[in-house]
């Protein structure tokens, strides 16, 4: 049965709260996921939290099931009042369920490119919300996962996990420098498709190969010129209004659904 805790100074409470910080996530190798929907997505793909906290009061039957399964697998479970749950989640309207999960550490060499005909690659994304949204899009189009290039935001931050809406548990995530990614890509099949303003190729025109690796650049700077030069194909989406480009996650979604549609 979960332990009832009412103290902010409790070690488990402090541990869960600390996972809102990148340094603690790296040290522990854990990350926070909040809310019944996201934690149910994790359970459905066989992933359970190592620590789980639930709010006081009667639990939703599915939440009670997740807590029981986590405990049976060796997880620590606690029950806390709303004010402690709010401190751990950083939200005034806290979730009823919160869990700490082990970060998956997948080397690029273990990535199976044949697992999906479509992959996302993102270079130096700074907004964790964009990373989470790309993961969510990846789940929607049955992509294989997201390869984060160079110094990107943490995909296991609370903001990224929230934006992923559970896709953090269904999409493979790899973090590598460009100089490691490119040789790996060229060792096997894969068309590198970059989105860029520095091309006349409309994204609707080309034939996209399988697997396609859709490369999205930094939110402000876009792709470096040297990275664009390595792409097998550069495409752009015509802007019909005053904006000169789309948000990085939106552009990734538009590209992914079009590429998928082109293969029908």
Q: What is the per-residue pLDDT for 222?
A: 83
Return all residues near 185 (Cβ < 8 A) that are at least 6 apart. 192, 213
Q: Which residues pair with 3 in a beta bridge?
A: 78
Measured between alpha carbons, how far is 243 from 85 in angstroms, rounded to an integer?
Answer: 41
Measured between alpha carbons, how far is 151 from 172 in angstroms, rounded to an integer?
Answer: 18
249 backbone dihedrals φ, ψ, rounded to 5°: -70, -35
pLDDT tens per residue, range 70-105: 999 999 999 999 999 999 988 888 889 999 999 998
Model's pTM, two decimal places? 0.93
pLDDT tens per residue, range 12-34: 999 999 999 999 999 999 999 99
Measured between alpha carbons, how far is 149 from 151 in angstroms, rounded to an integer?
Answer: 7
pLDDT over threshold 80, residue 65: yes
């Amino acid at each position: 049965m979960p332990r009832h805790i009412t103290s902010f100074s409790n070690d488990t409470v402090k541990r869960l709260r600390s996972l809102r910080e990148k340094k603690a996530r790296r040290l522990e190798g854990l990350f926070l996921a909040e809310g019944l929907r996201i934690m149910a997505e994790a359970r459905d793909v066989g992933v359970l939290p190592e620590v789980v906290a639930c709010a006081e009061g009667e639990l939703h039957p599915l939440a009670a099931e997740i807590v029981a399964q986590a405990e049976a697998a060796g997880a620590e479970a606690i029950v806390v009042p709303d004010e402690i749950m709010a401190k751990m989640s950083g939200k005034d309207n806290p979730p009823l369920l919160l869990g700490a999960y082990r970060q998956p550490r997948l080397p690029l060499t273990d990535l199976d490119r044949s697992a999906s005909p479509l992959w996302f690659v993102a270079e130096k994304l700074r907004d964790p919300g964009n990373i989470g949204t790309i993961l969510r899009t990846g789940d929607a189009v049955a992509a294989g996962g997201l390869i984060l290039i160079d110094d990107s935001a943490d995909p296991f931050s609370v903001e990224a996990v929230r934006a992923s809406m559970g896709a953090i548990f269904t999409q493979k995530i790899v973090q590598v420098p460009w100089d490691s990614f490119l040789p790996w890509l060229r060792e096997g099949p894969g068309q590198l498709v970059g989105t860029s303003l520095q091309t006349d190729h409309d994204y609707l025109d080309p034939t996209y190969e399988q697997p396609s690796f859709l490369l999205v650049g930094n939110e402000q700077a876009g792709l470096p010129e040297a990275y664009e030069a390595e792409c097998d194909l550069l495409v752009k989406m015509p802007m019909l209004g005053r904006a000169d480009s789309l948000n990085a996650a939106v552009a990734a979604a538009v590209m992914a659904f079009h590429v998928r549609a082109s293969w029908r």
